[in-house]
Amino acid sequence: MCHNHIPFTNNDNNAHDEEHKYWSRRSFLQALGIAGSGSMMLGSQMLTASAPSPLTAAIANADTDSILILIRLSGGNDGLSTVIPIEQYDTYANARPNIYIPESKILKLTDEFGVPTYMNSLEAMWGDGQFKAVHGVGYENQSLSHFTGSDIYANTDLTTTGFSGLNTGWMGRYFEDLYPDYLVNPPAAPAAIQIGNFGSLVFQGEETNYAFVTSNIDQLEEIAESGVQYSLDPQLFDQCMYGDQLRFLRGVANTTYEYSGLIHEAYERGQNQVEYQDNGFARQLSLLARLIKGNLGTKVYMISMGGFDTHGNQPLAHERLMSNLSIAINNFYEDLTFTEQDSKVLSMTFSEFGRRIFENGSNGTDHGKAAPTLFFGSGLNGSAFVGDHPALDAPNGRGNLEYTMDFRDLYATVLAEWLCVPIPLVEQHLLGHTYNPINLGFNCSGVEFPDIAYSDDPPTPPMPDEPPVPDNPTPDMLDAIVHKPFYPQSGSPYIYLELPFTAHVDITLFNIIGQKVGTIYNEMMLEGSSEIDIQANIPEHLASGKYIYRIQVQDRKLAKSVMVS
């Protein structure tokens, strides 16, 4: 029997096996138009992605030709290894005796702030006025959960807790207004393209997801190069019990999913005129450059880079990640200058949270709050560090930087001043958040920007925060420890742990017959919630099956079973 539920495009002999690696069920549904953009199949009526309706055409004609690229730094980027506050350098270095960046390895862009020398590919962009960094971005009562934090940055709903929250995203609500008859008359080109379909609500609307989504760069490259979503090679179906039906479904998807052909055509029209590195992030930007230069017509793209959850061995990991990002960004904008499109493309980073000031016992940093947002592009009309950098000498009780810039103000500025969305709609898309624009160098609405600190203004210390944690937790506090396994991705189990006090935590993994498999966690943990990746903390490969984890805090032991697949 063949695997008939996950399509794949390659024609080699291993295609069936590779389907599981590259395609998810959600991708298949999106390709059929059930969950995402592309042509829709409603009952017996087939609706193709052809010309836009008169209404959407009028909106598009009145709209800007600006393009926005959202760059997701997945895992929680460490802001103090990205933008280094030179005036607070001693405090910074004392908090991180093993992982601080030496002064000799800081590229000083102003007297007050610099970036690590491994980001020196951005020096030319700084000199050309194409780089701004906004300090202290976050929000009130910031979540330190990967999943809740990601949802909040996507849905802008600060009431989101745990696994509950608004199921629409800020860009999804924007496209819902821009294309009110989207399901009947999709736009001529994809409204948005997203590489990486896990863990983001950014483009989700009430009725549909407005992005053309692929799980990884391999998929989008395949579509761009071939213009075909699915292979129809007869050899893939000869041994399948449902081969005929699957081949029919793939044929329908290829016929109706018109955007694949449009992407291919734009890819063929556009050409890279700069050589990019051979890594996943660079390949994403290289492909986006070709689509933009080929005039695809898509307004918003979202790409991602993982690996920022640097609890251990942070210096090497962060250097590799930010070096790759800096080189690729510089190459991307250099590529766009050949067709004079660099001034039309704005890029901005975002991450679900920052990291704490103090290093942990594993040469890393733990989940924290505020972190900088980076902006790139000629449309910035000048380089600068924007806003107040949080003070390092007065962290809150958990060692966190407090936010000095609400992330929604950056979103609002991008919507109103870059994408030219009317301000009342901006406030609506951001769930009633009052418009408070930030001067990032572009201005579509004509509003006057309020005064805001730049790099020569002193940092503002945060207000006093939580009282110190108790030295000896009471039995009631021990009883208040919350823990449970959860599964954000197949084969990657996590432990969710809520600790009402700071304590040493020991988490051990056992197999089903009681043999110790390894230690998942054994160090101090600060008060609050944490998500612990089981497989990432066990050096040995874990076979599929049931395991038991045991959490020990002082004399209290807590255990539950967990499945590994």
Q: Are residues 482 and 416 in the same domain?
A: no
Same domain, 390 and 539: no
Please check whether residue 466 is in contact with residue 402, taking contact to mean a CB–CB distance below 8 angstroms: no
270 in a structural domain: yes
In contact, 390 and 463? CB cutoff 8 Å = no
CATH number at residue 539: 2.60.40.2550
Are 361 and 228 in the same domain?
Answer: yes
Q: Clarify whether residues 406 and 520 are in a common domain.
A: no
Residue after which a domain boundary falls, among 374, 408, 429? 429
- What is the distance of C-alpha 44 from the center of its chain? 37
* Whether residues 479 and 405 fall in one domain: no
Check residue 257 and give its pLDDT.
60
From 409, 429, 449, the end of a domain falls on 429
Q: Is residue 448 part of a domain?
A: no
Domain that holds residue 421: 22-429
| The pair of three-digit structure tokens given for residue 63, joined into one six-digit string | 């709209």
Q: How many domains are there within the chain?
A: 2
Cα 482 from chain centroid?
27
Same-domain check for residues 181 and 305: yes
Helix (H, G, I), strand (E, B) or coil at 19: helix
In a domain? residue 442: no
Which residues does residue 68 pair with via DSSP β-bridges, in sequence order? 300, 346
Q: How far apart are CA 466 and CA 443, in angstroms?
A: 39
Cα distances from 351 to residues 150, 158, 170, 342, 424, in angstroms, run 7, 16, 15, 24, 27
In angstroms, rounded to a whole number, what is the distance separating the alpha carbons of residues 43 and 41? 6
Q: Which residues contact 90 (CB under 8 A, 6 or more apart)?
A: none
Q: What pLDDT shows up at residue 470?
A: 46
**CATH code, domain carrying 60:** 3.40.720
Same domain, 520 and 405: no
Q: Are residues 344 and 483 in the same domain?
A: no
- At 419 the three-state DSSP class reads coil
* Same domain membership, residue 348 and residue 479: no
Rounded to 5 degrees, what are φ and ψ at 422? -55, 140
Does residue 457 sit within a domain? no
From 414, 429, 444, the end of a domain falls on: 429
Query: Which token pair is 133?
Result: 């960094």
- What's the 3-state SS for 136-161? EEECCCCCCCHHHHHHHHHHCCCCCE
Same domain, 415 and 492: no
Residue 365 region by backbone torsions, left for phi larger than 0, else alpha for psi between -120 and 50, else beta: beta
**pLDDT means per 10 residues in the chain (565 residues)?**
40 43 40 36 30 38 77 96 96 96 96 96 95 97 92 94 86 94 84 82 90 90 82 59 58 58 95 97 98 97 96 96 98 97 97 95 94 97 95 80 96 97 96 96 92 54 43 76 77 84 89 81 88 84 84 87 82
Count of residues making up the chain = 565
Q: 355 near 80, Cβ under 8 Å?
A: yes
Q: Per the domain annotation, does 6 fall within a domain?
A: no
Q: Are residues 560 and 485 in contact, defined by beta-carbon separation less than 8 angstroms?
A: yes
- Whether residue 191 lies inside any domain: the answer is yes
* pTM strictly above 0.75: no
341 Cβ partners below 8 Å, 6+ apart? 292, 293
Q: Is residue 222 part of a domain?
A: yes
Output the CA torsion sign for 136, 141, 146, 151.
negative
Q: Does residue 67 form part of some domain?
A: yes
Q: What are phi and psi of 557, to 5 degrees?
A: -120, 130
Q: How far is CA 454 from CA 78, 135, 405, 428, in A?
A: 21, 9, 13, 29
Q: For residues 547 and 549, what is the distance between their CA atoms, to the nearest angstrom? A: 7
Reduced 3-state DSSP string for 353-407:
CEEEEEECCCCCEEEECCEEEEEECHHHCCCEEECCCCCCCCCCCCCCCCCCEEH
Pair 408, 523 in one domain? no
pLDDT for position 484: 85
What confidence score (pLDDT) does residue 36 get?
A: 40
418 and 484 in a single domain? The answer is: no
The amino acid present at 75, given as its one-letter code, is G
Diameter of the chain by CA atoms?
Answer: 70
